[in-house]
Amino acid sequence: MSFISEVESSIRVLFDSINNGFQQDPGTGFNQIDNWISHLRAIDQPVLRPIVAELETLRTHISNNNAVGMAQAFQNLGELTAQSALSTHSFSGEGDKAREISQKLIAAAGNLRHLAKAPVVS
């Protein structure tokens, strides 16, 4: 599986975990984020450093079960991903995939904002 496919799958896993209030295990989200951080740090490109910082922020919001903070972090990640893709044009389609991931992150942010406003059901 390519890293891009892995990221797309991870976004879905993270959102499903958040949507369920991490009732199963917040470690699911941590594992996904830690994998992204590790991979992006290994690439060691300056354009990716703000994304790594925002992923660390997202991890903190997940730890605190802060849906509003998670929504903002997803929004920021989407925007940062789009910015990093601006200069990526190749026949392999990496820039296009990054822009698609950006849209998915921003959509997840919108969904999280909606969930954050929903009343908590016990």
Q: Where are the domains of the chain?
A: 3-117
The residue among 80, 85, 122 whose CA lies nearest residue 105 is 80
Report pLDDT digits (tens) over 46-80: 888 999 999 999 999 888 888 889 889 999 999 99
pLDDT band at residue 88 using 50, 70 and 90 as cut-offs:
low
The residue among 86, 21, 31 whose CA lies nearest residue 55 is 31
Residues in Cβ contact with 108 at an 8 Å cutoff, skipping those fewer than 6 apart: 11, 14, 15, 74, 78
pLDDT, residue 78, reads: 93
